[in-house]
Amino acid sequence: MAVDQAVVDRVARKALDRALDRPEQLLLVYQPIHEARTGAIVAAEALLRQRRESGEIREASVIQEAAEASVGNELFTLDHLLIKQAWIDAALWQRSHPEVRLNVNLSPREFQEGNVLVRLDSLVSSCGIDRQRVNLEITETSYIEKPEDTMHVLQMLEDGGLHLWLDDFGTGHSSLTHLQRFPVEGIKISGKFVKSDDDRSRAITRALIALAHDLKMNVTAEEVETTTQLEFLRDCECDFVQGFLFSRPMPADELHATLARFSSGA
Ligand code: G
Ligand code: MN
């Protein structure tokens, strides 16, 4: 049976409206990012989840996609809520583990419209997080319409001490011109390449790592699930890894406990 896209969109839109109406049902989980060579936790990425009335916790990609597709301020409202929550949570572990960075996802639409600089700046100040510890992941879910404006904003963010990363690199709208022009610290290679164990995917992964290193950028491989994949990534000198092989996304307090356990040598 063909799925009616208009119906899908309407359902997604309703889910977004409900979530913004009752933001307490939204929560963030944090997935550690590890140094590939040693396994040490260097950062954690904030990921959105939704708590259903039944108590069940689900992925919230429908809500995120509806916000991305919206024409009003919904994307900014949602992002603002999430970044604020992430930065409050991270302030908790920053005291005991100041070296562990926090990764948050932002749509490139954030950099094209609105006063992202002012909004991010006031968020950073009000949460008390050390801005040197923030990685902004630019998720290229939408086409970058105004690359000049975007580049200007990214440059200001970088000048302000925040670190920029291109997310899901190699899929969607990601383009080599972004690597050529944007002041990014690194790229995250999509799990689509990392998880596929065929020769073509490996060739792409190897080439992307070499290219990033030539550009003096770092690389995080996403969705690493097996030791075979990890060994291949280590051979390619991939810097960081994220995925179920090391750790699943977890609530903030669990991450805090995990960090405490790691640093006590357990
Ligand atoms: O594109 P982005 O990196 O923001 O997406 C992260 C998503 O991938 C999260 O929803 C997370 O739960 C999921 N994820 C993280 N690690 C793995 C993994 O090792 N395998 C799979 N299949 N999914 C993962
Ligand atoms: Mn991401």
Ligand 1 atom with least separation from CA of 225: 19
Using the atom order of ligand 1, give the atom closest to the CA of residue 105. 4
**Is 168 a pocket residue for ligand 1 (Cβ < 6 Å)?**
yes
Q: Are 124 and 85 in contact (CB under 8 A)?
A: no
Q: Which atom of ligand 1 is nearest to the CA of 31?
A: 15
pLDDT at position 1 over 60: no
| Ligand 1: centre distance to CA 241 (Å) | 12
Query: 167 CA distance to ligand 2 centroid (A)?
Result: 5
CA of 79 to the centre of ligand 2 (A): 13
Provide the pLDDT for residue 164: 95
**Residues whose CB falls within 8 Å of the CB of residue 237, separated by 6 or more in sequence, listed in order:** 209, 213
Q: Place 219 in a pLDDT band, splitting at 50, 70 and 90.
A: very high
How far is the C-alpha of 266 from the C-alpha of 262, rounded, in Å? 6
**Is the beta carbon of 140 within 6 A of some atom in ligand 1?**
no
pLDDT-above-70 percentage for the chain = 97
pLDDT at residue 112, rounded to an integer = 75
Measured in Å, residue 252 CA sits from the centre of ligand 2 at: 17
Domains and CATH numbers, the chain: 5-263 (3.20.20.450)
pLDDT of residue 266: 47
Among 103, 244, 250, residue to substitute to test ligand 1 (most atoms within 8 Å of Cβ): 244
Regarding predicted confidence, which is higher, 217 or 149?
A: 217
User: In this structure, which ligand is nearest to the CA of 229?
Assistant: 1
> Is pTM, for the whole model, over 0.85?
yes
Nearest 10 degrees: Cα torsion 34, 36, 40, 44: -10
253 versus 115: which is more confidently predicted? Answer: 253
So what's the pLDDT on residue 172?
Answer: 82
Kindly give the number of the ligand 1 atom that is closest to the alpha carbon of 243: 19
Averaged pLDDT score across all residues of the chain: 90
User: Is 138 in contact with 103 (CB distance < 8 Å)?
Assistant: no
Q: 58 alpha carbon to ligand 2 midpoint, in Å?
A: 17
- Which string of DSSP letters, residue by residue, matches the chain? ----HHHHHHHHHHHHHHHHH-GGGEEEEEEEEEETTT--EEEEEEEEEEE-TTS-EEE-HHHHHHHHH-SSSHHHHHHHHHHHHHHHHHHHHHHH-TT-EEEEEE-THHHHSS-HHHHHHHHHHHHT--GGGEEEEE---S--S-HHHHHHHHHHHHHTT-EEEEEEETSTT--HHHHHHS--SEEEE-HHHHS--SHHHHHHHHHHHHHHHHTT-EEEE----SHHHHHHHHHTT--EE-STTT---B-HHHHHHHHHHHHTT-
Among 59-63, 84-88, 100-104, 172-176, the least confident range: 172-176
d(CA 131, CA 90): 11
Atom from ligand 1 closest to the CA of residue 168? 1
